[in-house]
């Protein structure tokens, strides 16, 4: 599919109408036009001459081509989409400039109209009527000619939208000699369009600023030579040099150097992360102080950053249920307003001896009140602002529909391992029966092992800074542990099976039983006669888990549920430590799916996991949230991705989603409320054209400004 950046879209309704017209062309079936992102996607075989004609008739135009994608179903191209747009960063500058020019032109026209209008008002009673009418007419034409001609075309085609309503109102006002009112309608409607366009552009610009984090070039090392190359040309295995203050071009591994790296572009975390040789780095993160040489592990198009940018762009394209409802509502609402306007014009003069001119004027005012600008604008700016804010914080929301859903959830299901816990074993209990040998023997046996339990034991021994023995011989005992020869004496390390050669005193047996009931994994160390000591090992609970669960309950999430494959005792212990309201242990992946289905029947459920072994449960929940610092499977599976490796930012994201939903509801109430009040003014005959246009414009400006407040960072999250 071919993609183009469109400028000059005056409202979401216009974008919808243009899309409908393009779909009627040959090869126009799959065409989409997003008002939120200003992006048009069309079949390469479509007649661009016809597309341009449709755009031009609505005052819109193609600012630039984004890219041509021969096979959009290819996963590689799917990600290339996001990448391409960012490699050509200069295009952003171009189309921003073109939009600024359009704004300046519109502003100049409105100022000229305003001056002429002011002159006509002040010269009333001084100039003859024909001269005054000429001044008013000039002011009307300068600010309202584009709307007027668009509306006239629609009227001929019997298409009823905002422009049609304004055109009928202008014709009617001129017909009954209300020149002053007609001019004010034209100027205020022009101002309305300018401010409406500015609001959406501000939201889009904040999104585009976010998309500028991708570096454009890299310093590639070839045969000890340094060459500047575009990041799109980087291949897996290439070596690149990153100077202090520069951006890392793509995901890779440090081969030389040590530095702190700012990963805010990926994870939203402002604190730098210390990195050294052998450690992975993300493309888009910034090297703070040291000189680094990095081996590229992923071509830019497949990097975490390219996928993030692509997903953030795509997120703007989706319509939320609220937006779909508003668009549908506006479709029927406009003709309904025209019927009401006709009744207001006809009924009082015909049946209630009203004055035709007075009630025609009232009818025209009703038409202007009927403009659904503010209503259609209630949602998109708020949604784009919300997606931008969450993306800035390292939280990817894959569409407005998911942001809306996030603000409505009442149940949150957690996977345990790697989500509420670190997924790394650590020594929680130590039982020492032989001070001189227990830890030294354990260290000697475990120091060369890569087993996760061995690493936990070595971490504990290293912390105590002990000198450990040397092993002379090591033998693995299948399913039970290890036998080793140290200082010509045999030692055993492992579970109870590994020390069956000795009789365990009842006090130690009691202690083993107690530790097991506490959900700990037991590792015993013994010689030929006795137990030297034992380690009680558990999965370390993340320090932020308890405060996150408390914050979620405070936000109104009624039910927090932990699902785990671990046995019930471990589940019980972790659940008590973190404060979840319910827990289920011993679950297989399919059991997790069934539990999520069961919870979904009672409310709106979000499932959060590390995106690797939780894919089925994440897919089953109404909302799948994955965490895990950009793992591919997490990004692919979930609806929302936390790019951090912790839950700390989750309450903030839910709070923001609730705020977006509140703003949208508030906007709808304000835009409809002002219209209802204005319509009620027709009963006593108090509605005037300028009150009508001010009620519409006021509502539009108000909902735009309220929506843009979402972009403002707050220090504390609201708990409401």
* Distance from C-alpha of 209 to C-alpha of 400, rounded to nearest angstrom: 19
DSSP 417: I
Written as six digits, the tokens of 212 are 């500028």
Place of tokens 């009617």: 172
Written as six digits, the tokens of 350 are 């015909």
Written as six digits, the tokens of 140 are 């009307």
Place of tokens 């997790």: 592
In terms of Cα–Cα distance, which of 96, 708, 30, 37 is closest to 311? 37
Between the alpha carbon of residue 406 and those of residues 394, 403, 524, 541, 555, the distances in Å are: 16, 5, 47, 25, 12
Alpha-carbon dihedral 40, 41, 46, 52, rounded to 10 degrees: 10
* Distance from C-alpha of 639 to C-alpha of 616, rounded to nearest angstrom: 13
Catalytic residue among 415, 614, 639, 696: 415
Burial class of residue 241 (count of CB atoms within 10 Å of its CB; 0-12, 13-18, 19+): middle
Q: Evaluate whether 99 touches 203 at the Cβ level (below 8 Å).
A: no
Q: Evaluate whether 439 touches 520 at the Cβ level (below 8 Å).
A: no
Between the alpha carbon of residue 425 and those of residues 224, 507, 575, the distances in Å are: 43, 26, 17
Judge whether 465 counts as a catalytic residue: no
* Distance from C-alpha of 382 to C-alpha of 200, rounded to nearest angstrom: 9
Place of tokens 């994440």: 618
* Distance from C-alpha of 426 to C-alpha of 429, rounded to nearest angstrom: 9
Written as six digits, the tokens of 204 are 């889009």
Describe the crossing of helices 321-351 and 650-680 by its angle, rounded to 10 degrees. Answer: 10
- Which residues are bridge partners to 623 per DSSP? 606
CA-based angle 519:520:525, to the nearest 5? 155
Q: Evaluate whether 593 touches 578 at the Cβ level (below 8 Å).
A: no
Written as six digits, the tokens of 583 are 């827990």
* Distance from C-alpha of 540 to C-alpha of 28, rounded to nearest angstrom: 56
* Distance from C-alpha of 152 to C-alpha of 149, rounded to nearest angstrom: 5
* Distance from C-alpha of 430 to C-alpha of 411, rounded to nearest angstrom: 38
In terms of Cα–Cα distance, which of 402, 236, 234, 235 is closest to 311? 402
With b for 16 or more beta-carbon neighbours within 10 A and e for fewer, the 169-206 pattern comes to: bbebbbeeebbbbbbbbbbbbbbbbbebbbbbbbbbeb
* Distance from C-alpha of 383 to C-alpha of 145, rounded to nearest angstrom: 32
Long-range pairs of 626-633 with CB within 8 A, sequence gap ≥ 24? 627/419, 628/418, 629/266, 629/267, 630/266, 630/267, 630/282, 630/304, 630/307, 630/308, 632/307
Q: Evaluate whether 74 touches 303 at the Cβ level (below 8 Å).
A: no
Q: Evaluate whether 635 touches 304 at the Cβ level (below 8 Å).
A: yes
The CB density around residue 327, as the number of other CB atoms within 10 Å, is 18
Q: Which residues are catalytic?
A: 415
């Amino acid at each position: 599919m071919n993609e183009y950046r469109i400028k000059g879209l005056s409202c979401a309704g216009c974008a919808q109408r243009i899309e409908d017209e393009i779909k009627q062309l040959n090869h126009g079936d799959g065409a989409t036009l997003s008002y939120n992102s200003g992006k048009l996607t069309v079949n390469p075989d479509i007649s661009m001459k016809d597309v341009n004609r449709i755009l031009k008739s609505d005052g819109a135009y193609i600012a630039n081509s984004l890219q041509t994608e021969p096979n959009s179903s290819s996963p590689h191209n799917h990600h290339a989409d996001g990448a391409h747009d960012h490699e050509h960063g200069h295009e952003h500058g171009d189309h921003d400039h073109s939009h600024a020019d359009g704004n300046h032109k519109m502003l100049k026209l409105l100022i000229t109209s305003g001056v002429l209008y002011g002159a006509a008002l002040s010269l009333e009673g001084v100039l003859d009527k024909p001269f005054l009418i000429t001044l008013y007419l000039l002011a009307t034409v300068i600010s309202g000619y584009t709307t007027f001609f668009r509306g006239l075309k629609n009227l001929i085609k019997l298409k009823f939208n905002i422009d049609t309503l304004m055109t009928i109102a202008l014709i009617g006002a001129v017909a009954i000699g209300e020149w002053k009112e007609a001019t004010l309608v034209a100027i205020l409607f022009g101002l309305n369009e300018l401010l409406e366009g500015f609001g959406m552009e501000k939201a889009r610009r904040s999104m585009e600023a976010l998309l500028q984090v991708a570096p454009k070039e890299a310093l590639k090392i070839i045969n000890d030579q340094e060459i500047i190359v575009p990041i799109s040309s980087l291949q897996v295995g290439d070596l690149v040099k990153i100077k202090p203050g520069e951006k890392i071009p793509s995901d890779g591994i440090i081969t030389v150097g040590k530095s702190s790296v700012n990963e805010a572009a990926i994870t939203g975390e402002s604190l730098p992360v210390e990195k050294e040789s052998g450690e992975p780095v993300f493309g888009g993160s910034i090297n703070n102080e040291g000189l680094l040489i990095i081996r590229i592990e992923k071509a830019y198009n497949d990097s975490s950053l390219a996928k993030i940018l692509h997903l953030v762009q795509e997120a703007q394209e989706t319509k939320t249920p609220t937006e779909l409802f508003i668009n549908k509502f506006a479709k029927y609402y406009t003709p309904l307003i025209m019927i009401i306007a006709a009744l207001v014009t006809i009924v009082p003069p015909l049946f209630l001896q009203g004055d035709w001119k007075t009630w025609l004027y009232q009818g025209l005012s009703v038409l202007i009140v009927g403009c659904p600008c503010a209503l259609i604008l209630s949602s998109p700016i708020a949604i784009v602002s919300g997606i931008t804010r969450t993306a800035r914080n390292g939280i990817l929301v894959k569409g407005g529909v998911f942001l809306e859903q996030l603000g409505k959830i009442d149940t949150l299901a957690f996977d345990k391992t790697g989500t509420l816990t670190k997924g790394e074993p650590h020594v929680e209990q130590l039982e020492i029966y032989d001070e001189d040998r227990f830890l030294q023997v354990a260290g000697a046996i475990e120091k060369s092992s890569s087993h996760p339990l061995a690493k936990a034991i070595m971490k504990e021994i290293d912390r105590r800074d002990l000198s450990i023995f040397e092993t002379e011989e090591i033998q693995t005992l299948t399913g039970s542990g290890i036998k080793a020869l140290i200082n010509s004496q045999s030692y055993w390390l492992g579970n109870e099976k590994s020390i069956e050669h000795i009789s365990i005193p009842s006090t130690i047996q009691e202690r083993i039983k107690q530790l097991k009931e506490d959900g700990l994994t037991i590792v015993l160390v013994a010689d030929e006669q006795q137990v030297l000591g034992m380690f009680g090992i558990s999965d370390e609970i993340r320090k932020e888990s308890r405060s996150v669960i408390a914050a979620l309950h405070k936000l109104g999430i009624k039910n927090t549920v932990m699902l785990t494959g671990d046995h019930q005792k471990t589940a019980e212990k972790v659940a008590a430590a973190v404060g979840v309201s319910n827990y289920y242990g011993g679950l297989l992946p399919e059991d997790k799916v069934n539990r999520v289905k069961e919870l979904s029947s009672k409310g709106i459920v979000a499932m959060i996991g590390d995106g690797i072994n939780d894919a089925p449960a994440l897919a089953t929940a109404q909302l799948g949230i994955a965490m895990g610092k950009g793992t591919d499977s997490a990004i692919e599976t979930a609806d929302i991705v936390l790019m951090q490796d912790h839950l700390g930012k989750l309450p903030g994201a839910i709070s923001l989603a609730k705020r977006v939903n509140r703003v949208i509801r508030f906007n709808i109430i304000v835009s409809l409320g002002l219209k209802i009040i204005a319509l009620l003014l027709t009963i006593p005959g108090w509605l005037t054209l300028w009150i009508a246009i001010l009620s519409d414009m006021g509502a539009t400006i108000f909902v735009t400004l309220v929506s843009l407040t979402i972009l403002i960072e707050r220090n504390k999250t609201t708990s409401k």
